[in-house]
Amino acid sequence: MDELVLRKLLEGIHAGDIAVDEAMSELKGWPRHQSGFANIDHHRKLRTGIPEVIFGENKSSEQIIEIARSMLQGAYVVMATRVNHEKGLAVCAALPGLEYHKQARIIIGNKDKIVMNQGRGKVGVVCAGTSDIPVAEEACLTLLCLGHDVERAYDVGVAGIHRLFACKPLLEEATVLIVVAGMEGALPSVVAGLVEAPVVAVPTSVGYGTGFGGVAALMAMLNSCAPGVAVVNIDNGFGAACMTAAINKK
């Protein structure tokens, strides 16, 4: 423990066991070089409340396996996001105890180490169309791993707005709302106009042509005329969940 190490050093000086010059050279670079901490940021959980997570997109199965194997020995739930089907199967075959969630493209391990009940209330995860569900699910699973309760309301886009009104109880009850939409990305504005809870908006790459892979939805969300909306990167269900966990934390 950092503090322990520091205290020991100071007590050593105090006791005369450690010379000032020796302590000087030890302390000069501190708290930067903390021996033993590789660049795998095990410290992050303490600092930010969110453990290190494997970003699977640009990694090979072999790389994911290697990192996951070492993380499985740690004290936290293990997550790898953006793992496609093929890699997901390969990793789970190599490391027993992992489970792969195809729609959310997430691998989960050390599930028993999830600490439940981290939230002040329920998180509502709302999405506009069925094609937005994978991104919404990425958010849901991440929240569950972080110990937050989730309730889903899917396929409630603005083209048939009564479907949204049918979710009124959830909209009013949730302490935070994640709203996921592609195409024209109008849903977060409408939702934020109806509720008191903060809305974390997630544009998705669903659409074509001038959807520009989610940019149209993103721009709509950033320009929301309803206050109480903030936005994350396109398709970033994971990031929305982290933001939401930070908001909802007891």
Map the footprint of a copy of itself across residues 1-30, applying CB under 8 A: 3, 6-7, 10-11, 13-14, 16, 19-20, 23-24, 27-30
Out of 64, 128, 136, 180, the only residue in the binding site for a copy of itself (CB under 8 A) is 128
**Within a 10 A sphere around the Cβ of 5, how many other Cβ atoms?**
14
Contact between 212 and a copy of itself by CB under 8 A: the answer reads yes
Closest CA to 248 of 153, 112, 151, 164: 151
**Within a 10 A sphere around the Cβ of 224, how many other Cβ atoms?**
21
Out of 93, 115, 116, 166, the only residue in the binding site for a copy of itself (CB under 8 A) is 166
User: Number of helices and strands (H, E) in the chain?
Assistant: 11, 9
- Residues linked to residue 123 through DSSP beta bridges, in sequence order: 150, 176
70/97 with CB nearer a copy of itself: 70
Distance of closest approach, residue 137 Cβ to a copy of itself, in angstroms: 14
CA dihedral of residues 176, 181, 187, 188 (deg, nearest 10): 40
Instruction: Please list, in sequence order, all residues whose beta carbon lies within 8 angstroms of the beta carbon of residue 56, skipping any fewer than 6 positions away.
Output: 64, 80, 81, 82, 83, 84, 87, 105, 107
Contact between 236 and a copy of itself by CB under 8 A: the answer reads yes
Q: Which stretch binds a copy of itself (CB under 8 A): 72-80, 85-93, 100-108, 228-236?
A: 228-236
Contact between 62 and a copy of itself by CB under 8 A: the answer reads no
Indicate the pairing of strand 199-203 with strand 176-181: parallel
Kindly write out the interface string for residues 192-211 of this chain, putting x where it contacts a copy of itself by CB under 8 A and - elsewhere.
xxxxxxxxxx-x-xxxxxxx
Distance of closest approach, residue 122 Cβ to a copy of itself, in angstroms: 16
Q: Which stretch binds a copy of itself (CB under 8 A): 86-94, 101-109, 110-118, 164-172?
A: 164-172
Distance of closest approach, residue 140 Cβ to a copy of itself, in angstroms: 16
Residue type, 230: A
Of 95-124, binders to a copy of itself (CB under 8 A) are none
Out of 151, 156, 170, 237, the only residue in the binding site for a copy of itself (CB under 8 A) is 156
Q: How far is CA 196 from the centre of its chain?
A: 23
Out of 141, 144, 150, 186, the only residue in the binding site for a copy of itself (CB under 8 A) is 186
Contact between 81 and a copy of itself by CB under 8 A: the answer reads no
Angle at which helices 2-14 and 20-28 cross, to 10°: 160
